[in-house]
Structure formats: structure tokens, C-alpha cells
């Protein structure tokens, strides 16, 4: 506290000098920062032309470098301004004792963020525009920073996730996906007939280009309290799984209607009984 | 304990002198604090006129600076009053041993708050008036302080959230949002007819200015125990998604009524059976 | 252990002297403590007359000062008595080694309590008589102490909450609240008619003084398995939201009865079917 | 290990001497301990006659002092016996290094217990015979010790709770309690008539001495899928809330039967429909 | 590693000598250990004859002493064998640095076990043969060791619980227990009649020796969606509560059958309705 | 990093020499390791013949010793290879500073594993082939290592459990088990008749050798919303409880069918009612 | 900060020199890295031909060595580049004080990853292509790295799991698996007849090569509210359990249809009752 008070520039000269310096610094930075950002983007773009890297990788690197650049500049700025007022960061950070301890514990989350972020980038666990599930959030990656990852959810919400809460990265944009449809039929239908109908539906889809490994009706998945569940699975191009599942569902519904196969409503068998009580 | 007792001013002169000093300090602060607050607000407002910053950013900065100013003044005040009684904060904080350890651990939450708050502000994860979900609370941001963020929930409740419990910031005010409506129809309806009706409803809304990417009926989402679910999605301007969903729902209900398409009540197929027992 | 045993006053003189001293201390404290409490309350009350502070703020400060005063007195008392037996607290607390470590960890909760309590008070997150939700407890604040906050639940239970378990303070006594009523109607009713009825009900309430922003029927909120849900919302004076919701509900029920609009019972559409099995 | 082995008294004289000393110590303690307990109880009882303290407070203090006394005696006993074998506790506890560290961490729970227990007692959060909810256990407090609190649950189970797992003390024995009864009526009943019946029932109870603030029918609490819920609340003397709620419930049931108001059974509206499939 | 390798006895003489010593040690211990166990049991049994201690307490002490004895012997054995190979435990445990730190943290659970176990025994929170609920396990205590408590569950499973996971000890073998029976009747029954029947059933049981405080029908506990719940409670001897509840249930069922009072089946009131759609 | 780089053998002689040494070491170990394993197994088997230890205990020891032997050999191997490249493990582990700290914290799980494993083995909480529930996994123990325990689940999955996640060991292979069957009957059946039938079923099973304490029908366990539950329990030989329960169930079902006692279907009492609305 | 600024090469010569060096390093690494990878793969493949190791083990080792090689190269690269700018990593990591503390805590997750990964590999808990459940993720292992394990889920999602979140490894590719089918039949069916049908179905499958221990109908598993559950189990070759269960289910459904055995629909016994109310 005392240190701080001593440094307050009570004399007019000091104040004017400090203000002028402050203005100069602010002007310098407000010119330097956007300039640097343009240079980074330009360099990245040029490199991306001469090399044959994936577009998503380029995007990831572009955003990452801008992100790191911003942090470095902001910290240099804060350091410069503070040194203007005679406060140097070094000893403040290195200060042992209670303050240092508290800072050490408090900043530990920050280090975790950076370590996790570093390995996400190094191991290319995700790239910008990948569709992922991280920390319980489904969505498309917008930016992977050293400290924070931005994920745009399906409904348009933008999530800012500190990297340390990202444990398992479930990346849905790596290789083909499976389309899986479970349909229940009522107990009173013939199972073989129903599977036959499903197989005819599948044959049509096997000619569909979106399917890499044509859908197959693989049999009776389960028999539960209300229906006999049949399963159809196939392998489709990445990103088309939902569309394919919707098309399969509609085709099956139509085919079942034609074949007079019932979907499992709430059947109830009624025993009309004499009063016993 | 002993230190404290020694400092209790038992002699009358001391008491009078201390009281006078105390009064002077209180008066000084009660003049200085509101003055400083006005100056900060005035400066911010002037700057906001000459520069082309977003209104929400200005608001955020205004509230943040007032917040920081309050903390600084209160700590200077406490330090001044304590020094009046001969207690200096420095050694008390830096004190090693058990007390220091306990304080270090106890204050660790405080440092976490400030570190998290600093990055929320630096990365502009949210601004005042944004609609966000943080730490399980939905609402509009009222103030982002270094230690605490205030979020006004929809029902009017004001939430004070220490920044450290904010992990994932889900910001619903960044870009267009998706309006999504799922409607179930009964098994006995014709799926193609129903989708046709939905498409006609969607066409009307596509001319609606609120929709950036007109609503589309994308097909059969699922078939569950009681109904066939059809999905309609579209992209709308930020903040209008609920209104648009309500309007879509009403239009679909009316259109289904006209087209005699049933919504999925609890159907029950009854098998009247002879008593077997 | 040894230190303690050495201090046990085995000689009679010592015992008598100690007992006398003990009695004097107890008498002194039992006079001083209530006196001090009265002085604090009196001072607070006087100040509250000359200044224009909120009543709840005065109450909060009054209880807080009494609370701090009690702690200080009890610790001075314990210190005095222990020093009578030759035990001084200082080294015991500062003692490094295992005991110190254990105390440091054990007392860490205590420091957390005080730090959290300090900021709750400083940031005025709640005052005495506010209706809040903290640490999963709904209720009216009875006292905010440095270590413990007392909250009276609706059923009369008094909750003692150590401040450290208070993370999010949800304060329901800051500004107007929203009254929100969702009513479901059956699929067979006309949606437009029902909304019309709701709007007439709302018009009556808009003249009600309790409503700051008159209730409006905002449309079809959702269509679920059993009903079409319509929503009415309005802004009311703080504390009157439950009463207003009850009155709205009753008025809507009566209006729907008159307009012959059905509430959503468990409809069941029965298909009498031949036995297939 | 080595220290221990060296101390094993291999020579006969030592063994006999040690055994004799051991017997003397055991005899001394087995006389001293019950004597001390009686003295403590007697002193407490005498004090309770001359002073006007609450009976529950006296009980709490009595049990607490006996509890602390037991701990002190057991530790003195252990210390004495160990010193007999040449083992002194001091260095063992203060021993730095791995053992010390492990003990420090392990014993931290013990310190937490004592710190929490101290504040429960100091702030009088509960007394013996209070009905409380602590750490998820409902019951009547039997003893509050420095380390452990005993709570007798309703079914007769005796719970030993280490104080550190007690966070929120919900004390149900501080001031009047609220009796609250929610009754649902079917949609087909007249709401005004039902509220009228409830009010007549309430009037009878308002003359009941147990009610401090007579029960009132406050209106339509909610309308859900199966019924219209009406609420009755009143303030009753502490401990009588369950009895009063039971009596209210019975009176309301009888009054509704007389007034022909239906309780909400599972109504079902049946639409007999032609087979569409 | 190096220390270990140096000690490997490469010369034949060393090997033979070491093997001989090892055999001697193993033989010595395999004679000494069971002998010691018998002596302990014998001493305990003798003491239990001369003193009037509870049988369960004797059992607890017997098993505890054998348990501690085993640990001590095993550690002396390990220490002796290791010293044979030139490895001394002392420095290994006390070793500062990474190994020491890791051991300190890893062994912390062990210390917690012993501290918790010590207080469970000291405060007699449970004895062998008590029926308890600890750490989510219901069962009868078989042994309370310093580190582990063995609990035999109802289905015959033997649970080994490290003492540190025992927080709340819910002891069901301390004093009388309550037998509690809730029976629901249908809305169409007369409440007064049903309570009358319950009271007659209770009168019969009040003469039953197992009931310490005869069962009473205390009234209407609640009215929920399907029935009116009546409650009967009484105080019974420890251990007989389940038996008594079963007998009460059967007697009430029979009495209700005789009095023609219906138990709450799924009533359904059917409104046959014209098709509206 | 630097240390490592310096050691890279850039000169050809060094490289050749190192490679030769490496080959020698690998060959030596690939001969020594399987040899040692065979010797261990042989020794164990011989000992098991001369002594009367349980087979499961022998198996446990056999697998444990092989497990420990593997660890020791692998670490000696790694140590030897590393020393070949001039890296010595000692200082690396003991290295204070950040690396040491990180290792200390990271390795703490390893120490916990070994400490827990040591006590599981010492206290014989489980043996190979025991059927246990540990860390939420049901299955048969395949191996208990110092660090990891292998449990084979019923469906054939092999679980590798680090010992530290094993808290409560629920061992289902210690003594007789209880077979417990709850059967519900409908309200309309005579309770005494049903219990009579159950008793006759039990009598047959009491002559069954698998039952140690013949099954008994102990009465009405509960009356819930849909049925009257009767309970049958008995004590059976370990491992036969599921088989016995299945046989009991089948016998009871057959006996109830013969005695015309109904199992509790979804009864529904229908009140045909006039339209009130 | 200062250190960093001093090192920025302001003079042109330095800049050019540094750039040239940087280019040389990048070129050298971009040649060396892929070369090294090919050498590793080649060596592994050669070794796999001469030795008789499992294919999955070879795959695991191949991917692991490439993974470790990448890490080593990236760290050497970073170290080289940084040393170019005059920053040496050594002191930065070893730096005591706050920064070191924060890094130590933050990097602790990294060490945990490596320690866990090391033991997963050493104990061969899983290999590439095994079907496992780790950290709640079901799928096929694609790569086991020192820090991260990649698991491909059934739907095609690629999961990156930091090794530290892997506690229990449930490996479904170790030995035969059990196929288990539970089928419910209605109360009105004859249990013996149904078991007979199941046994005939099982006999057919016992001739199936996929079954190692032919399926058996083991009896009545349970009787619940709606059905009598019969269980069939058998042991099948690893990986074929789902297929076998599907085939069993279908065969049982067909056999039950032929034998006129009902699957458990929602039976309802209706008591038509006079209005009592």
C-alpha cells in the first residue's frame, strides 16, 4: 500500500510528464497492434498458398497467432504503463510470502489452461471448423487460443471454454460416421416380414453416394415392454449422418405403412373382471 | 492479541486526537469518493462520444472502473484508519507462520476471482447487457467487476457471481441464433402431407424480415413411442428466437388443424380379451 | 503436554489467587459486554436518524457490529483466562511444525468464511430482510456476520450458513420481479380464441397497481405430449409476484370455464381392435 | 522402530517396576475420572439453579464439559503410560519430515472438527434437544462435543457426526413454524366454492391456540396436468406443525366430502375413434 | 536403485549366512505370533469375567488388540528382514525430496484411517455386533480395526471399509426404535372409520411386550394424487422394528378387508366424450 | 535438455560400443526374466504342497510375486539402459525445484496405489477367485498386484483397477449368503392363504442341501400402490444364492398358479361418470 | 519481461543472422523428422517379422514410438529456436518463486498423464484395436500415447483422452464373452412350457460354432410388476456377443409366436364399479 502511495505523482511536472508519456505509449500501441495483426494474417495467407496444408489448419494457426500476439502486446502494454508509475512487475510476481503464495495458487488455473491448450494444438486434437464435444458442449470450433477455446453451439450460442475444463475432446470430424436407426414394431407383427421390408429400404440407400458402407438391417436389437426393436446401421460421409438418418426414418415409415406393419402404440390387453372385493 | 491491546489508547489526549483524525479522514473520504466516481463517469462518457466504440463496451468499462475505484478507495480507507491505531497491514499480510498460511489459503479464492475476471474482460467474453449462461445462471449481465459479476435472471432476481465459479461463458448475444421447432404427429397421419403443410408454413415465414435464413422443414427427426417428430429450423436475428419459435408454433398448429393432421395424443389400442387366469 | 502440566497450580496460594483473579475477570466481562452492546446499538440508531440510509442497511450494520464485538470480546476473554494459567496464544498459533501445519489447514475454512463475508458486506450483495437464495437455501436474511449468515426459511427454520459455502448470492429483492403463468389447453380448443380470452384477462390486470408492466399473453410457448401451452408474463412490484401469479391463475381458470375452454386432462383416443395374436 | 526396540525392558527389575507403575496409574485414573465427572455435573447443576439460563443450554454445557474432560483425561493417561515406556509425545508430533507431513495432513480433519465445533457452540447454532437438519440428517441433538455431534433420528437411530461435515445447520427449533397444506381439486369443481369451503375450515382453526397466525386459504397455487392446487398456510407454535397439518388435512377432507368437491383422481376423457390404420 | 544393487550379496558366504538368518527369523516369528495372539485373547477373557463390561465391548477390544498386534508384528518382521539385507527403514521414510514428498502424500490416507479409527473406538461410536450404516453400507459390525472396519451386510457380503471413508456413523443399536407404518386408503372411504379401525388394531398391539410405547394411529399424513395416507407409529425394542412393522401391516390389511375399506388401486374416472376434432 | 544433448554419442566408437552393450543387456534380461518367473512359480508350488494353505491364497501369492518381480526387473532394466547413456535416475528423482515438485505430485497416485495394495494383501481383503464388488465393478478377482487389481466381470470384460480407486471391498465370498425373494400379490387375495402357500413351498426347500438355514416366509414386507409384497428369506451356501433364488421364484409362481393367487397386474377400478364440465 | 525485451535483436546484422539460422533449423528439422519416422516404422516392421509378437502389440509399439519421437523432436526444436533468441529453458523451469510454483501445479496434470500412460503400456492393459471402456467412453483403441489415448467410438467419433482421466480400463477383448438374453412372458403363460421352448431354441444354438459354452435357459430371473422374466446365457467368441444376442432374440421371438406364448404387453384388469362418491 505504502509503496503505491509514495509513487503517486503529487508534483505538477511529474503529472504532466507522466500524462505525455502515457499518451505517447497509447498512440504507439494503437498503431503497432493492428499493424502487427495484419502482418501476421498476411504472412499466414502467403504461406498457405505456397504449401499444401489443410485449410482448417491454416485457419487454426492464423487465429492462434493473432491470439498469442494480442496477449503479448497487452502484457507489454501493462508492463510499460506500470513501469511509468514506478511499479515493476518482476518482484511483485516473485514476491514470496503470503501474497506470492496466494498468487501462485490463484494463477495455477492459468498455467493449466496454457499447458492443456499447448497439447490440444500440438496433437491437433481439433482444428477450427471441426464439429466437437468438449466439456459437455456440442458445437463447431471457432478459435483455439492458448487460454480459451471458442465453440459455437448449434443454436448459435458462442461458448468461451477455458482450456483446463477440456478433458476429453470428442472430435466428430475425423473419418466417416455411422448412421444408426432403431425402429420398434408391435409384438403382433411378423419379425421376418419387417426385416424383409427394412432390407428392401436399405437396398435403395446402398446406391446412395452418401453411404460409404450401405445401410444394413442387422436384426432384432431388443424386446422391451412395448415393442420389438429392429436396428439399421450404415457408414456415411462425415457431416451427413443426421440427414441420412432422417431420410432413412422417413423411407422406413412409408415402407412400413405400405406393408401394413404397425409402429408400437400403447397396446393394452383388457381383462374385464368380476368384482372380487 | 498483545499487540492489539498495547495500542488501545488509554490516555485521554490520545483518544481525542484519534477521534479528531478519524472524523477528518471520514469527511475527506466521503467527499473524495463520490467526486472521483463522477469524474470517471464523465471521462468515460466524453471518450465514448469521440470514439466509435460499442455502447455495451462503454457501459462495461464505466461500471468496471467505478468498481475498481471503489475497491481501491475502501482499501486505502481501511489502511489509513488502521494505521491511525498503529496497525500496519504490510507485516500482517506478509507474516509467515500459521496465520500467514491460513490467510494464503483462504485468500486464494480471491486471487482466482481476479485472474478469471481479468481474462473475461480482456477477451471480451461478455459485455454489460449481453444475454449469457454462466455457472448455471441464465440472464442479462448487469456489471462485470474484477471480483464479482452481476447477472439479472429472467424473473428479476439479481445474481452476484464470484468470478471463479464462472467456467464456461455461454454468450447468447454473438451472431444470429437458430429457431428450432419440433412437432410430433400421430402414426396414422401421412408423413408427406404433414411435411408439405410445414413447408407451406415455412414459405410464409421466409418472407419475414426477422428470419436471416428462412425456416425449412428438414424431415422426420425421430419416431418414438408415441409420435413421429418433424423438425423445422431457421436462422433468426439475435434475441428474436423465442418470439419466432412461438409464432412458428402457432402457425403450424393452425395449419395442422386446417389440414386435419392430428397432434399425438395418448393413443391406445385396446385388445378386449377373454379371461385366461 | 508437559508445558500444560507444569502450569497446574499445585500450591494452595496460587490456586486461591487464580480463582480470585478468574472471578474478577468473569465479573468484569459480564458487566462490560452487555454495556458495549447497548452503546453500539444506541450509536447506530442515532446515526440512522441523522442520515438518510436505508433501514435494511442500518439493521445489517447493527447486527454486524454486535457480531464482531462478541467475537472480539470472547477472544479477549479466552486470551485473558489462558494467560492467567500461564498459556500465551501467540507462540501456540505461530508454532511451526506439525501442530502449526494442522492448525493452518484446519483454520483455512475460517479465513475463507471471513474473506467471503467481508465481500458480501462490502459489495452489499444482501442486506438483513432481503429475500435470497444462497447455498441452496431460500429465505429471508436475519443476520450477516463475518463468519456466519443466518437465513430464515419459509417454513420457519433458521439456517446458520458459514459464509464460505455461499457462492452465488441470488437476491430476489433487487428491482421489479416477473410474474409468469403457463397454462395448457387441450388440442381440441381453438388457439386464437384461448389467446383472446387470456388477453381480456390481462387487460383487467393491467389496471392493477401491483403490475408495473401489465401482463401480456405472449403466445404459444410449446406443444407437448398432452397440451398446447400458452404463456402470460408481466412485471410486478418486488415481493408481490406470488400473490399476482395466484390471482392471474384464478382469473384465467374462471375465464376459461366461462369460454368453455378445456384444461388438458389425460385425453385418450381409443382404437378398439380385433385380437391379432 | 529402533527407538521403540531399545526401550523394551528386557531386564526383570525394569519389567516389575514398570508393571507396578502401570497398575498405580490405572488405579489412579479409574478413581480420578468418575470423580471429576461427578464434580462437573454437580457444579453445572448448582449454577443452573442460581442463574436463569435455559434448560437446553445447561444440558449442552454439561455434556460438553464432560466430553472435553474425557478427552483431556484420556490424553493425559496415554501420555503418562507412554512416558513410562520412555516414549515422549512432543518430538513425535513435532517431528518434521515425512512422518510429520503425513500426520499433519491426516490430523487436519481433527482440527477442522474442533474449529467447527467451537463455533457451533460459541454461536449457539444448536442446543441439546433442538430438532435440526445437519449434513443431511434430521433429528434431535443429543450431545454437542468438540469433535462429534450426536443426533437421534426419528426412527431411533443415533448418528455420530464429525463436526467438519456439518456445514449448514438448519435449526427447526427457533421461533414459530409454518403449517402448509396443498390440496388439489379436479378441474370440474368450482374454484370459488372450494376456496369458500377452505376458508370456513380455516376459521375454525383460527380459534385453535396452537395457531399463532391463523391458517388462511391464500388461493390457487398452481394448475398442473391433473388438478387445480389450492394452498392453506398458517403459523403455529414450534414443534406442533406436523400435528396441525394432519388436523387441517383431515378437516379439509371431511369438509370437501360434505360439499361434494372431488379430489383429483386420474380423470380420463375417452375419445372412441374409428380405426384409421 | 544404486543402494539396492550394492547390497545384493554376490559372494556365496554372504548368501548362505543371510539365508540361515532369514530362516531363523521366519521360524521365530511363526512361533511368536500365534502365541502372542492366544495370550491376548486369554487375558481379555479373564478380564471380562472379573469385570462387568458389556459383551460387545469385550469382543471389540479382543479383535482390536489382535488387529494391532498383527500390524506391529508384521512391521517388526519386515523391518528385521530388510535390515538383514542392509536396508534400514528410518532414512527411507524420513528421506526428504521427491520420494519423501510422494510417500508423505500417499500415506496421508493411512494416517486419516488411523485417526478416524482411534476416535471411533474412543467415543464408542460402534461396537462389534452393532447394526450400523456407515459409508452407505448397512450391516452388522464384525471387527473395528485401527485401519479397517469390517461390516457384514444383510445378504452375507463382508465389507472392508478403510476408516477414512466412514464419516457419519448411524448406529441403529442404541436405544428403542420406532416402528412406522403408512397405509393409503382410497378417496371414497370414510376417513374417520378408517382411523377407528387402525386404533382398534393398535389397541391389540399395545398389549404386545415388544412395544415400549404402544402404536398409535396419529391421523391423515398426506393426501396425494392417488390416496389418503394414514400413519401409525410406535416405539419398539431395538432390533424388533422390522418384525413389528410386518405384523402391524398384516393386521391392518386383515382389519381393512373386514371393514370393507379399500386400498388405493389405480382409480380412473372415465368421461365418455363426443369426438370434437 | 542440455544434459541430454551432451550425451548423444556423436563419435562412431562410442556408438558401436553402446550398441553392443545394449544388445548384451537385452539378451541377458530376456534370458533372466522368464527364468526367474519359473523359479518363483516352482517355489510357490512346492511350498503349497508341504503346507496346508488355501488354494486361493497360493494363487494370490503366486501372481503377486510374479507381478512384483516384473516391476523390479523392468526398473532395473530401465536403470541399466539409462546409465548406459550416462543418465542416472537418482538425482533425476531427487531433483528439487519445479520438476521435482511436478513429479512428486504426479507420482502421488502411484504411492497411493501401492499403499492401498499392500493393505489389501496384508489384511487378505480379497483373494484370487473371490467374487467381489470394488469401485463399482462386480466380478471375480483374477490378480491382485501392488499397483493394479484385475477383476473379470460377469460378461467377460477384464477390468484393470488401479488400487487407489478401491475404497470399500465388498467380498461376496466370505461365509454363507442370503437368498431373498419378494413376491407381490394383488389386494384381492387372502394374505393368510398366500403366506400358507409360501410356507409349503419353503418346507420343500428346507430339505434342500444348498440351504443352510431353510427359507422362511417372514410375512407382509410392504403394501404399495399396486400390490401386497410378501418376503421369503433363507441362508444358502456361498455362490449358490442366485440359483436358489431362481428355483424359489419358479416354485412360488407354480404354487400360486395352482392356488389361484394372482400376481399384481395393473388393476384399474373404473368409475363410469356423467360429464360434469 | 525485461529479459525478453533485451533479447529482441534491434540491429540489422543480428536480425539477418537469426533469420538465416532459423531457416536452417526449420529446413533441418523438416528433413530429419519424417526420415526418423520412416526409420522407426521400418525397424518395427522388420522386428515383427523375425519375432512372433501379436499384431496388435506391434501396432501399439509402432504408434507409441512415433508418438514419443514426435514429442522429443518438437521439444528439441522449441529448445533450439528459443536458444537462438537467447532464452534457455533450464532456469525457466527450475525457477523457484511464484512462477515456478504455478508451473509446478499446472504441469502436475502432465506428469499424471505420463505416469498413467507408462503403466497402461507396461501392464498391457490395452492394445491398439482392443474394444474398451475408459473414462465413460466405449470404443476401439486407435493409439496409446504417453500423454493421450485415442479411442474411436461406435458412431465414428474420435476421442482424445488425456491418460490421467483413465482410471478403470474395462477391456472387452480379453477372452470369451457372455451372451445374455432376458425375455419377459406374461403371467398367464405356463412357466414350464416357456422354459421348454427356450431350451429347444438353445439346443439349436449349441451346435453353432460361435458359442464356446452353448446357451442355456437358466430359469426364472425375476417376477416384476408386468412380467415373468426368463434368462438365457451362453459363452461366445470375443466380438460376436452382440450378433449372437440378436440371433437368439429373433429365434426366441419366432419360437414363442409358434408356441403361442405371449410377450408381456400392458395387461390391465378392469373392475367396473358403481359410483361410490
Instruction: List the single range of A262-266, E110-114, E188-192 with lowest mean pLDDT.
Output: A262-266
A266: DSSP letter: E
> Mean pLDDT over residues E228-235, rounded?
92
Q: For residue F59, what pLDDT is reported?
A: 85
Q: Do residue G159 and residue A172 have CB atoms under 8 angstroms apart?
A: no
Chain G: partners with 3+ C-beta pairs within 8 Å:
A, B, E, F
Instruction: List the single range of A151-165, B101-115, C230-244 with lowest mean pLDDT.
Output: B101-115
pLDDT band at E74 (very low <50, low <70, confident <90, very high): confident
Residue C7 has pLDDT above 70, yes or no: no
Is pLDDT larger for residue E243 or for residue B86? E243
Per cent of chain C over pLDDT 70 is 81
Residue from E156, E240, E246 to probe the interface with F (highest F Cβ count within 10 Å): E156
Whether A157 contacts A114, CB under 8 Å: no
Nine-digit cell at A143? 478459435
Sign for the pseudo-dihedral over CA of G131, G134, G138, G144: negative
Q: Give the mean pLDDT of chain D.
A: 82
Residue G95 has pLDDT above 60, yes or no: no
Distance, CA of B34 to chain centre: 28
Q: Distance from B127 to chain C by nearest Cα, in Å?
A: 19
Instruction: List the single range of C88-97, C156-165, G177-186 with lowest mean pLDDT.
Output: C88-97
Q: For residue B214, what pLDDT is reported?
A: 80
Residue C97 has pLDDT above 70, yes or no: no
CA dist., res. D246 & res. D241, Å (int): 9
pLDDT band at F274 (very low <50, low <70, confident <90, very high): very low
CA dihedral D198, D200, D203, D208 (to 10 degrees): -80
Q: Which residues of chain A make contact with B226, given a CB cutoff of 8 A?
A: 265-266
**Which of A154-163, D34-43, G4-13 reaches the highest mean pLDDT?**
A154-163
Instruction: List the single range of C188-202, D113-127, E204-218, F263-277 with lowest mean pLDDT.
Output: F263-277
Q: Do residue G158 and residue A167 have CB atoms under 8 angstroms apart?
A: no
Q: Distance from C6 to chain E by nearest Cα, in Å?
A: 26
Q: For residue A260, what pLDDT is reported?
A: 87
Q: Which residues of chain A make contact with G74, given a CB cutoff of 8 A?
A: 122
Q: Distance from A77 to chain B by nearest Cα, in Å?
A: 13
User: Pick from C105, C243, C265: which is nearest to D269 by CB?
Assistant: C265
CA dist., res. E227 & res. F187, Å (int): 15
Q: For residue E65, what pLDDT is reported?
A: 87
Whether C62 contacts C44, CB under 8 Å: yes
Residue from C100, C158, C231 to probe the interface with D (highest D Cβ count within 10 Å): C158
Whether G234 contacts G202, CB under 8 Å: yes
Which residues are within 8 A (CB) of B46 and not within 5 positions of it... i.e. 6 or more apart?
none
Q: Distance from B124 to chain D by nearest Cα, in Å?
A: 36
Q: Judge residue D20's burial from the number of C-beta atoms within 10 Å of its C-beta, 0-12 exposed, 13-18 middle, 19 or more buried.
A: exposed
pLDDT band at E195 (very low <50, low <70, confident <90, very high): very high
Q: For residue F271, what pLDDT is reported?
A: 54
Size of interface A-G (CB pairs under 8 A): 162
Q: Distance from D157 to chain C by nearest Cα, in Å?
A: 23
Q: For residue E19, what pLDDT is reported?
A: 83
> Mean pLDDT over residues C55-82, rounded?
85
Q: pLDDT tens, A122-145?
A: 888 999 999 999 999 999 999 998
Q: pLDDT tens, B109-119?
A: 888 888 889 88
Q: Are strands B266-273 and C266-273 parallel, antiparallel or unpaired?
A: parallel
Q: For residue D91, what pLDDT is reported?
A: 61
User: Pick from B99, B157, B250: which is nearest to C219 by CB?
Assistant: B250
Per cent of chain E over pLDDT 90 is 35
Residue from C89, C121, C122, C267 to probe the interface with B (highest B Cβ count within 10 Å): C122
Q: Give the mean pLDDT of chain B.
A: 82
Q: For residue F106, what pLDDT is reported?
A: 65
Q: pLDDT tens, F22-55?
A: 888 888 888 888 898 898 888 888 877 766 667 7
Q: Do residue D170 and residue C148 have CB atoms under 8 angstroms apart?
A: no
Instruction: List the single range of A195-204, D13-22, F206-215 with lowest mean pLDDT.
Output: D13-22
Residue A171 has pLDDT above 50, yes or no: yes
As a whole number of Å, the end-to-end CA separation of chain E is 86
A8: DSSP letter: S
Q: Give the mean pLDDT of chain G.
A: 82
Q: Which residues of chain C make contact with B263, given a CB cutoff of 8 A?
A: 187, 223
Q: Which residues of chain B make contact with C223, given a CB cutoff of 8 A?
A: 183, 249, 253, 263
Gyration radius of chain C's alpha carbons: 31
Q: Do residue B111 and residue A105 have CB atoms under 8 angstroms apart?
A: yes
Q: Distance from F172 to chain E by nearest Cα, in Å?
A: 5
Residue from E94, E105, E272, E276 to probe the interface with C (highest C Cβ count within 10 Å): E276
Instruction: List the single range of B125-134, D10-19, D196-205 with lowest mean pLDDT.
Output: D10-19
- Among E210, E218, E155, smallest CA distance to E183 is for E218
Q: Which residues of chain G make contact with B277, given a CB cutoff of 8 A?
A: 187-188
> Mean pLDDT over residues F219-242, rounded?
88
Q: pLDDT tens, F96-114?
A: 455 666 666 667 788 888 8
* DSSP code per residue over chain E: -HHHHHHS--SHHHHHHHHHHHHHHHHHHHHHHHHHHHHHHHHHHHHHHHS---HHHHHHHHHHHHHHHHHHHHHHHHHHHHHHTT--HHHHHH--HHHHHHHHHHHHHHHHHHHHHHHHHHTT---TT-EEEETTEEEEEEEE-SSEEEEE-TTSPEEEEEGGG---EEES-SS-EEEEEEEEE-TTS-HHHHHHHHHHHHHHHHTSTTEEEEEEEEEEEEE-SS-EEEEEEEEE-TT-HHHHHHHHHHHHHHHHHHTTPPP--EEEEEEEE----
User: Pick from B105, B180, B223: which is nearest to A253 by CB?
Assistant: B223
Nine-digit cell at D241? 406443525
G277 to chain F: closest CA residue? F271
> Mean pLDDT over residues E70-97, rounded?
73
pLDDT band at E104 (very low <50, low <70, confident <90, very high): low
Residue from B98, B105, B188, B270 to probe the interface with D (highest D Cβ count within 10 Å): B188
Per cent of chain A over pLDDT 70 is 81
Q: Which residues of chain F make contact with D265, given a CB cutoff of 8 A?
A: 271
F3 to chain G: closest CA residue? G90
Q: For residue B142, what pLDDT is reported?
A: 93
**Which of C23-37, D58-72, F119-133 reaches the highest mean pLDDT?**
F119-133
CA dist., res. D214 & res. D205, Å (int): 7
- Among D164, D184, D177, D232, smallest CA distance to D210 is for D177
User: What stretches of F61-125 adopt beta strand conformation (E)?
Assistant: none
Q: Which residues of chain C make contact with B243, given a CB cutoff of 8 A?
A: 219
Q: Which residues of chain D make contact with F277, given a CB cutoff of 8 A?
A: 187-188
Nine-digit cell at C261? 375452454
CA dist., res. G170 & res. D194, Å (int): 60
Is pLDDT larger for residue A74 or for residue D217? D217
Q: Which residues of chain A make contact with C271, given a CB cutoff of 8 A?
A: 265
Q: Which residues of chain B make contact with G265, given a CB cutoff of 8 A?
A: 271
Look-up of cell digits 468473569? C26
Q: Distance from G188 to chain B by nearest Cα, in Å?
A: 6
Residue F258 has pLDDT above 60, yes or no: yes
> Mean pLDDT over residues C132-145, rounded?
93
Q: Which residues of chain C make contact with B253, given a CB cutoff of 8 A?
A: 191, 220, 223, 228
Is pLDDT larger for residue D105 or for residue A65? A65
Chain A: partners with 3+ C-beta pairs within 8 Å:
B, C, F, G
Chain B: partners with 3+ C-beta pairs within 8 Å:
A, C, D, G
Per cent of chain F over pLDDT 90 is 35
Q: For residue B89, what pLDDT is reported?
A: 63
Look-up of cell digits 378441474? D187
Considering only CB atoms, which residues of chain F are within 8 Å of chain D? 271, 276-277
Q: For residue F269, what pLDDT is reported?
A: 56
Q: Do residue D155 and residue E168 have CB atoms under 8 angstroms apart?
A: no
Chain C: partners with 3+ C-beta pairs within 8 Å:
A, B, D, E
User: Pick from D112, D169, D178: which is nearest to C154 by CB?
Assistant: D178
Nine-digit cell at E213? 410405547
User: Pick from B97, B154, B243: which is nearest to C100 by CB?
Assistant: B97
Residue A2 has pLDDT above 70, yes or no: no
* DSSP code per residue over G98-155: HHHHHHHHHHHHHHHHHHHHHHHHHTT---TT-EEEETTEEEEEEEE-SSEEEEE-TT
Q: Which residues of chain F make contact with A269, given a CB cutoff of 8 A?
A: none
Residue C113 has pLDDT above 80, yes or no: yes
Q: Distance from A188 to chain C by nearest Cα, in Å?
A: 6
> Mean pLDDT over residues G232-254, rounded?
92
Amino acid at each position: 500500500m505504502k509503496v503505491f502511495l509514495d509513487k503517486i505523482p503529487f508534483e505538477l511536472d511529474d503529472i504532466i510528464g507522466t500524462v505525455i508519456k502515457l499518451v505517447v505509449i497509447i498512440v504507439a500501441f494503437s498503431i503497432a497492434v493492428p499493424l502487427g495483426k495484419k502482418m501476421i494474417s498476411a504472412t499466414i495467407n502467403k504461406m498457405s498458398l505456397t504449401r499444401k496444408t489443410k485449410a482448417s489448419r491454416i485457419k487454426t494457426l492464423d487465429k492462434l497467432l493473432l491470439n498469442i500476439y494480442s496477449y503479448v502486446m497487452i502484457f507489454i502494454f501493462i508492463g510499460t504503463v506500470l513501469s511509468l508509475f514506478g511499479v515493476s512487475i518482476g518482484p511483485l510476481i516473485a514476491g514470496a510470502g503470503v501474497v506470492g503464495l496466494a498468487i501462485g495458487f490463484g494463477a495455477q488455473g492459468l498455467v493449466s489452461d496454457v499447458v492443456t491448450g499447448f497439447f490440444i494444438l500440438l496433437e491437433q486434437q481439433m482444428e477450427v471448423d471441426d464439429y466437437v464435444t468438449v466439456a459437455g458442449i456440442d458445437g463447431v470450433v471457432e478459435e483455439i487460443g492458448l487460454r480459451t477455446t471458442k465453440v459455437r453451439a448449434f443454436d448459435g450460442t458462442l461458448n468461451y471454454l477455458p482450456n483446463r475444463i477440456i478433458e476429453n475432446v470428442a472430435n466428430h470430424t475425423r473419418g466417416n460416421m455411422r448412421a444408426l436407426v432403431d425402429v420398434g414394431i408391435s409384438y403382433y407383427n411378423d419379425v421376418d416380414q419387417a426385416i424383409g421390408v427394412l432390407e428392401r429400404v436399405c437396398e435403395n440407400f446402398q446406391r446412395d453416394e452418401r453411404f460409404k458402407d450401405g445401410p444394413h438391417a442387422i436384426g432384432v436389437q431388443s424386446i422391451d415392454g412395448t415393442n420389438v426393436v429392429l436396428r439399421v446401421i450404415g457408414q456415411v460421409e462425415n457431416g451427413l449422418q443426421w440427414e441420412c438418418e432422417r431420410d432413412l426414418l422417413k423411407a422406413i415409415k412409408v415402407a412400413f405403412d405400405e406393408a401394413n406393419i404397425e409402429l408400437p402404440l400403447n397396446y393394452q390387453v383388457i381383462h374385464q373382471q368380476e368384482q372380487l372385493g
